[in-house]
Amino acid sequence: MTLKKNNFTNRRNFLKGTFTVALGLSFTKNLHHDFPVDLVSFTTTEDKDEGVPKRRLGKTDKMVSILCAGGYHIGRMQDERYAIRMIHAALDEGVNFFDSAWSYNKGDSERRLGKALKDRRNEAFIMTKSRGRDKTVAMNELHESLKRLQTEYLDLWQFHDVQTMEDVDTLFREKGAIETALQAKQEGKILHVGFTGHRSPTALVKIIQKYHHLIETVQIPVNLVDPHYLSFILQVVPEAVKYDIGILAMKTVANGVLLEDNVASVKECLYFAWSQPISSLVSGMDSIEQLKENVTFARQFKNLSEKDQSELLARTGPFGGIKREFYKHPSDTWRIYPTRPLH
C-alpha cells in the first residue's frame, strides 16, 4: 500500500471526537469512520510479515514502526551486553525506530545504540536529541552524538525538552540551534528535524504555528490522564495534525505512575496512545521480556472504539493533575521522584 502525502489531513475530524471524550462526553463519530482508511488498514494489516505495523512519519516519506525503543532505559541497564542484545532483539522483532539523546546516561545510551547498530545501520531509523539552544553548543552535541552512534547521519534530530517561550525564541533566532539543524541537513548529517517537550503545551504550539515549515516531528506526552490536566493531546495534537507534523508519543504510562497506582494496564495505555493520530510510541523498556510484550501488543493492536476510549477517560478522570504528571511542572518539582527519570 502506498500512503499518500496528505493521508493525515482528515485527522482534524477525528480529533473532534477525541476532544469530546476528553471532556467526559462521547465521540461524535465512530473512530474508524473518522480515521483515514489508509492509516487504519496500514496499522492493522500492512507489514505483518515484518512483525510490527508501521506508519508514515508525518510529512516525511519515512515509515517507522509504531513502537519505538526508548533510549534512556537502554543506557541505564547494568549489563551493556544485555542492552545490545535487546536492541538486536527489537530489530529481529520488526522494530525499526530507536530513540536516544545526547544527555542520556552521560552518553552511554548513544554509545550502546551505536555499538548495536553499526553493522545493521540500514535496518534502523535512529533518532537522538540535543539540549543545545544556540548554534555552537548544538553543533558540538550533534557531532558528539554522531561519533557515539557510529553513524555518518541521523534519521531524526530533535531539540530536547523545550519548556518556555524563551527556549523557543533562543532556538529559532539568529545563531540559534535551528541554524545547526539546517546546516546539518544540507550536509547530509541529519535527514529530519523535530523537537520534544513535556512541560508547556503553549511553547510547543508556538513552534508548530510559526516554524512548521522547518520541523517535521514533535514528541509529547500522550496518556490516559493527559486530557485532564495541561493537555498536550488537546492543545498540541490539533496543530501538529493541521501541518502534518509527525507526532511521537511518550510517557504513555506517565512514567509508570498509572501502573503503580493501578489506574490502567499497560495494554490499555498503549492502545489508547496508538488510537490517537500518532506516528509512533516511544517506550522505555527494561528487559527483552518487556520488549516482546509490547511487540505483541503492537501486532495485535486495533483502534479503540469511541465507547472504549470514553470509558477509559471517565475512569482516569479522578487521577489527573500534577501529582501523577509531575513532569509537567515548570520547575524542579520532579526531583522529589528520583526513581522516575524524565525521558
Cell 501523577 belongs to 324
Yes or no: say if 162 and 131 are a contact pair by the CB < 8 Å rule: no
Tell me the three state secondary structure of residue 192: strand
pLDDT the model gives residue 216: 98
The alpha-carbon radius of gyration of the chain (Å, integer) is 19
Residues across the chain: 343
pTM (two decimals): 0.86
CATH assignment, 47-301+318-336: 3.20.20.100
pLDDT category at 323 given cuts 50, 70, 90 is confident
Q: CA-CA distance, 67 to 60, in Å (whole number)?
A: 18
Residue 36 has pLDDT above 60, yes or no: no
Helix, strand, or coil here: 93? helix
3-state secondary structure at position 176: strand
Distance (Å, whole) CA 32 – CA 10: 12
Q: How many CB atoms lie within 10 A of CB 267?
A: 14
Tell me the C-alpha distance between 102 and 146, whole Å.
Answer: 10
The confidence score (pLDDT) of residue 30 equals: 32
Who wins on pLDDT, 5 or 267? Answer: 267
Instruction: Give the Cα separation of 340 and 317 in Å (integer).
Output: 22
Q: What are 58-112's pLDDT values in tens digits? A: 999 999 999 999 999 999 999 999 999 999 999 999 999 999 999 999 999 999 9
220 backbone dihedrals φ, ψ, rounded to 5°: -140, 160
Strand boundaries in the chain, DSSP class E:
54-56, 63-65, 67-69, 97-99, 125-130, 154-159, 190-196, 217-221, 246-250, 280-283
**Rounded distance between C-alpha atoms, residue 169 and residue 152, angstroms:** 29
pLDDT band (50, 70, 90) for residue 335: very low
Q: Where are the beta strands (DSSP E) in 285-337?
A: none
Q: What does the pLDDT look like over 212-266, one tens digit per residue?
A: 999 999 999 999 999 999 999 999 999 999 999 999 999 999 989 999 999 999 9
CB 156 within 8 A of CB 191: yes
For residue 322, what is its C-alpha cell?
A: 500534577
> Which has the closest alpha carbon to 164: 187, 193, 195?
195
Q: Please state the domain extents for the chain.
A: 47-301+318-336
SS3 112: helix
End-to-end alpha-carbon separation of the chain, Å?
Answer: 34
